[in-house]
């Protein structure tokens, strides 16, 4: 427990908190709260949601602790046990062929929607790779409910049905092939259901909300739709057996990568989002910069806008920096796709700068050459062994 407290009280999160303007009182409340929730064996997330006085960061961190606790026990077991996770599943199931076909279909979806990421998964062990595909497909399907071609027919009731279906998946009662793959994955790896439920919650939020008053509200949204992905993926990708880092610190880095990606996504898509009547940028920060909703809808690149964007980009980069510290702690075969995703997504921020902050009418993207160059760069970083973040 002392490692957790040490990390929470003087580790990198504190820097992020203070740089993001989390008040001293809030930080202290957060530390006290972390101590209580950790000592009592980590209470349920639902009770955290019920307490409105805590910041989003505090509330989200409870899910991090819960997922980390689930994994911590497994890390204590021998390497031999870890090796078993990577053994082929054939023979484990009477319907092994069906299951293999289900995973193959997940791989096809992944290859279709996210080519670079699919390529990145090729270095992973076959068992882990297909589990990541299954998680990817569930996330993609969830996102498509509110972002895809049938989004206009989506209702809160339909999301409730999707959530019910999710609980069936975790109970081993899949509805279709993709669900069957996920059901198998969550039965093999210590993946908690909460991040999955929270992603659905993010879709609910997105349906009913088009403005975010402050960064605290935006942080919660980013956790729901992207931080959750980090928490879902790490139990499958695995932490390096030689890593000395605390489980919580690795999960915190995973959370940070999700937040960084989503913040970047928001900064890239400002123009696109206004055409859907949405502004994801924190309203109080816009006002401080002397900008109104009308300015965003008008879409003029002014000095006020440039200055505002500089601050937003700086914050997104801080979350990427935070995430970097955790990647080397992952199992060696899982590092490459994560580095690749980090390096590629972070370059979108460079591209926004190169576009002179015109994210109203110019879409920031990473060109093919830069994308290709990022892959060996990611590979090089993946060779680095754990950095000994914080001792367990
Ligand atoms: C190796 C790796 C990257 C694994 C993650 C695989 C996985 C399960 C991805 C699911 C992604 C997904 C479909 C999420 C649904 C919600 C969503 C669309 C979020 C946005 C992604 C970007 O997608 P895109 O640019 O296509 O956006 P549009 O839909 O077009 O608007 C997000 C911005 C979030 C993606 C978040 C991650 C990939 C989190 C990555 C974090 C980890 C894998 C943890 C790494 C571990 C450490 C210790 C750092
Ligand atoms: Mn989307």
**pLDDT(280) > 70:** yes
Q: Which of 212, 226, 209 is nearest to 142 (CA)?
A: 226
Q: CB under 8 Å to 53, separation ≥6 — which residues?
A: none
Average pLDDT of the segment spanning 103-123: 93
Determine, yes or no, domain membership for 55. yes
**pLDDT(50) > 80:** no
More confident residue, 279 or 11: 279
- String of b and e for 232-248 (b: at least 16 CB within 10 Å)? bbbbbbbbbeebebbbb
Percent of the chain with pLDDT over 70: 80
Ligand 1 within 6 A of 135 CB?
Answer: yes
Residue 377 near residue 370 (C-beta atoms within 8 A):
no
- 3-state DSSP percent of the chain in helix, strand and coil, to 5: 70, 5, 25
Determine, yes or no, domain membership for 7. no
Ligand 1 within 6 A of 139 CB?
Answer: yes
Q: Which domain holds residue 158?
A: 14-391
Ligand 1 within 6 A of 107 CB?
Answer: no
Percent of the chain with pLDDT over 90: 71
User: What is the count of structural domains for the chain?
Assistant: 1
Residues having C-beta closer than 5 Å to ion ligand 2: 143, 147
Q: Per mean pLDDT, which range of 24-28, 153-157, 284-288, 312-316 is the poorest? A: 24-28
C-alpha 141: how far from chain center: 16
pLDDT band at 178 (very low <50, low <70, confident <90, very high): very high
Ligand 1 within 6 A of 136 CB?
Answer: yes
pLDDT band at 187 (very low <50, low <70, confident <90, very high): very high
Question: Average pLDDT over the chain, rounded to whole?
Answer: 84
Q: CB under 8 Å to 311, separation ≥6 — which residues?
A: 285, 289
Average pLDDT of the segment spanning 67-88: 57
More confident residue, 88 or 258: 258
More confident residue, 192 or 28: 192
Ligand 1 pocket test, pick from 124, 132, 229 with the greatest ligand atom count within 8 Å of Cβ, gives 229
* Centre of ligand 1 from the C-alpha of residue 258, in Å: 6
Determine, yes or no, domain membership for 66. yes
Determine, yes or no, domain membership for 144. yes
Neighbours of 2 (CB within 10 A): 7
More confident residue, 354 or 20: 354
**pLDDT(143) > 60:** yes
CA distance 230 to 342: 12
pLDDT band at 120 (very low <50, low <70, confident <90, very high): confident
Determine, yes or no, domain membership for 63. yes
Neighbours of 88 (CB within 10 A): 11
Determine, yes or no, domain membership for 318. yes
Q: Per mean pLDDT, which range of 20-34, 102-116, 266-280, 309-323 is the poorest? A: 20-34
**pLDDT(79) > 80:** no
CA distance 161 to 158: 5
Average pLDDT of the segment spanning 50-57: 77
- Relative to the alpha carbon of 64, which ligand is closest? 1
Average pLDDT of the segment spanning 267-278: 97
Average pLDDT of the segment spanning 327-333: 95
**pLDDT(21) > 50:** no
* Centre of ligand 1 from the C-alpha of residue 35, in Å: 30
Residue 117: the pLDDT is 87
pTM for the predicted model, two decimal places? 0.83
Residue 76: the pLDDT is 60
CA distance 54 to 219: 13
CATH code assigned at 220: 1.10.600.10
Determine, yes or no, domain membership for 5. no
């Amino acid at each position: 427990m002392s490692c957790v407290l040490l990390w929470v009280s003087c580790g990198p999160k504190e820097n992020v908190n203070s740089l993001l303007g989390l008040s001293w009182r809030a930080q202290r409340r957060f530390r006290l709260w972390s101590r209580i929730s950790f000592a009592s064996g980590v209470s349920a997330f639902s009770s955290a949601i019920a307490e409105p006085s805590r910041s989003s960061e505090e509330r989200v961190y409870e899910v991090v602790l819960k997922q980390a606790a689930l994994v911590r026990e497994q890390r204590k077991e021998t390497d031999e046990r870890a090796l078993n996770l990577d053994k082929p599943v054939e023979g484990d199931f009477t319907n092994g062929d069906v299951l293999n076909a289900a995973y193959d279909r997940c791989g096809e979806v992944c290859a279709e929607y996210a080519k670079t990421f699919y390529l990145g998964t090729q270095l992973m062990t076959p068992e882990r790779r297909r589990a990541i595909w299954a998680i990817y497909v569930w996330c993609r399907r969830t996102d498509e409910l509110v972002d895809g071609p049938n989004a206009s027919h989506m209702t809160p009731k339909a999301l409730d049905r999707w959530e019910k279906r999710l609980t069936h998946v975790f109970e081993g009662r899949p509805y279709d092939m993709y669900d069957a793959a996920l059901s198998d994955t969550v039965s093999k790896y210590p993946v908690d259901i909460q991040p999955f439920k929270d992603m659905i919650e993010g879709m609910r939020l997105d349906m009913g909300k088009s403005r975010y008053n402050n960064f605290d509200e935006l942080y919660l949204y980013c956790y729901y739709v992207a931080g959750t992905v980090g928490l879902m993926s790490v139990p499958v990708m695995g932490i390096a057996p030689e890593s000395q880092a605390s489980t919580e610190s690795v999960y915190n880095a995973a959370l940070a990568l999700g937040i960084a990606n989503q913040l970047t996504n928001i900064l890239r898509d400002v123009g696109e989002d206004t055409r859907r009547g949405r502004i994801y940028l924190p309203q109080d920060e816009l006002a401080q910069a002397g900008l109104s909703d009308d300015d965003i809808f008008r879409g003029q690149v002014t000095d006020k806008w440039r200055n505002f964007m500089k601050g937003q980009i700086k914050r997104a980069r801080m979350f990427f920096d935070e995430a970097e510290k955790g990647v080397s702690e992952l199992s060696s075969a899982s590092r490459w796709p994560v580095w690749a995703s980090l390096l590629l997504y972070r370059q979108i921020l460079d591209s926004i700068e190169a576009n002179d902050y015109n994210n109203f009418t110019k879409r920031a993207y990473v060109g093919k050459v830069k994308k290709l160059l990022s892959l060996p760069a990611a590979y090089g970083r993946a060779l680095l062994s754990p950095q000994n973040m914080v001792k367990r």
